[in-house]
Structure 1
């Protein structure tokens, strides 16, 4: 894996480090980012077309989107044939994160995060399978002709 795809491997490990920092590192108490987020959510809730937007919904969606690249990168590293392993690793990763949060003073594990992260990993796996399907199909055709 590391020898076949060194750049993708490094990018994956780097992204996993960012995920680790975001999910296990210290939470900002009351920064400008949090104020901006609440201001944006209130602004959206004041509009008829987007009054359904809530903090919980934004958080859930952010957790899904955060894990999409993990599923994608794992399929690219492991290969299309091991897509199921990519899904399993994404779920194991999120279970590990939520379990570790049990022992951190500033973090609270949440079953919704487990669901959202797992969905994100699965969506990433599906995206990788769709994106690599044309090449896989072309390779299969070339093998049949040979």
Structure 2
């Protein structure tokens, strides 16, 4: 037998510590404007994609008003209704897209063109119209202007 000492054990392998997992991002609660916009879009979709014109039941009333007040005609009432329908769009979307407000009108145009194209392709009792697109985008503009005015008055 040999008097030689056994070879020394290899040095222990140093295992690097595991990198710490990043802390989960804090959950952001949905903002009030985002929640309201979600409800508004749901109502807008119901109105826009209802199989028959949503104003069919009030047409006789508009006609009766038109006989007494000739300035109130069905096309004018429909245009005003389309403007009013998109005012919330112009108020809520800029509140959500704070850093990208310049996207509000392009989004409004895309949304209303999508609505009108869908009506043309899928809803035989609905009549798509370029005038509806103009009215809807006008409504978004009115909403944006109203919000800007409200903010300016509030600041001063």
> How high is the TM-score relative to the length of structure 2?
0.71
Q: Does 1:89 align with 2:107?
A: yes
C-alpha distance in structure 1 between counterparts of 2:85 and 2:115, whole Å: 13
Alignment check: 8 A CA contact 2:62 2:72 kept: no
Q: Report the CA distance between 1:111 and its aligned residue.
A: 0.5
What runs of 5+ residues in structure 1 fail to find an aligned partner? 46-51, 139-146
Contact 1:101-1:108 within 8 A present in 2 as well: yes
Higher helix share: 1
RMSD (Å) for aligned C-alpha atoms: 2.4
Structure 2: gaps spanning 5 or more residues:
1-26
Which residue in the other structure is 1:70 paired with? Answer: 89
Aligned length: 129
Please point out which of 18, 33, 38 is paired with 1:13: 38
* Structure 1 residue 128 corresponds to structure 2 residue 147: yes
Q: Secondary structure at the match of 1:27?
A: coil
Alpha-carbon offset, residue 30 of structure 1: 8.6
CA distance change for structure 1 residues 35 and 11 in 2, over 3 Å: closer, same or farther?
same
Distance in 1 (alpha carbons) for counterparts of 2:62 and 2:90: 27
Partner Cα distance (1:14, 1:63) in 2: 18
The reply on whether 1:55 has 2:80 as its aligned counterpart is no
Cα shift at 1:37: 2.3
How does the TM-score come out when normalised to structure 1?
A: 0.76
